[in-house]
Amino acid sequence: MSVLYIEFLPVVTERFIGRVNLPGILKILNKPVDALLRILDKGLSKTMFVFIIAGVVLSTLHQSSLGTLMVIAGYKMHPLWQTPILPLLFLLSAIAVGFPMIIFESLIAARSFKMKPEIEVLSNLGKMVAPILAIYLAVKIGDIFVRESFKYIVILDTQSWMFITEIAILVRAFFMFMSKKTENSPARLFIASSLVIAGVLLNRVNNFIIAYNPFYNPNIYYPSIGEISVTIGCIALLVLAYRAIVINFPVISQENKV
């Protein structure tokens, strides 16, 4: 979080340099605060690459560690998901969902703030999704055959249907991103990106809820209404915070406003 805050600082310095106007007795701090902002802006322009690298590395460690957590679960995990390369699969899926998430958020933000979608940028991002998604699916499906756990798919129980649904969603998204029709269509880009997000989200649900079944506890865990409500509330607060930041800071360019 500290690294993310530092990465956001240039937006703050751009917004307030030369515009610091504290009220009342705090006016004496106007010049020192402005000077501090200028120092930060000058320093970050030379060192930001360090924090960008740190952010990527920390995110990589975070995603692979989630997979490692479930590897430790051992036989408590269903064979369709339990694999020694689970950390790699978590990392690849996180990379695969990166560009679709940017496309998804950009299109929603454009519609919310009544701006034209940056279709040229989003189209180029969309072209990168299919190869990355293909690598993830190839590794995941290949692992199923190497471990010979594909036999559990034909059982057609809850676990197998959830696995089939997860793969089917991502395969559908892959073919949508492969289509030329998707490149310049905001609607198709949004649908394809939503499918990737849904597929990766379902993968996490499958790993942590559907696949995890400790032998000493016959009861399957499902999130309660209260837990779901708290999660939805946190997401709503984040959306409100995002809108407040975009309105008050130079986060999104206004050149393409409708």
Domain boundaries, the chain: 1-72, 75-222
Residue whose C-alpha is closest to residue 254's, from 118, 101, 105, 87? 118
Q: What pLDDT score was predicted for residue 162?
A: 93
pLDDT band for 257, please (50, 70, 90 cuts).
Answer: low
pLDDT tens, position by position, 144-189: 998 888 888 888 888 899 999 999 999 999 999 998 888 888 999 9
Which pLDDT value is given to residue 191?
A: 94
- Residue 103 CB neighbour total at 10 angstroms: 27
Q: Give me 98's structure tokens.
A: 């990166």
Burial of 204 (0-12, 13-18, 19+ CB in 10 A): middle
Q: Which whole-number Å values give the CA distances from 37 to 10, 21, 32, 45, 231, in the listed order?
A: 9, 13, 9, 12, 35
90 pLDDT more than 70: yes
According to the model, what pLDDT value does residue 24 have? 80
Whether this prediction's pTM lies above 0.85 is answered by no
Per the model's pLDDT, the better-predicted residue between 221 and 248 turns out to be 248
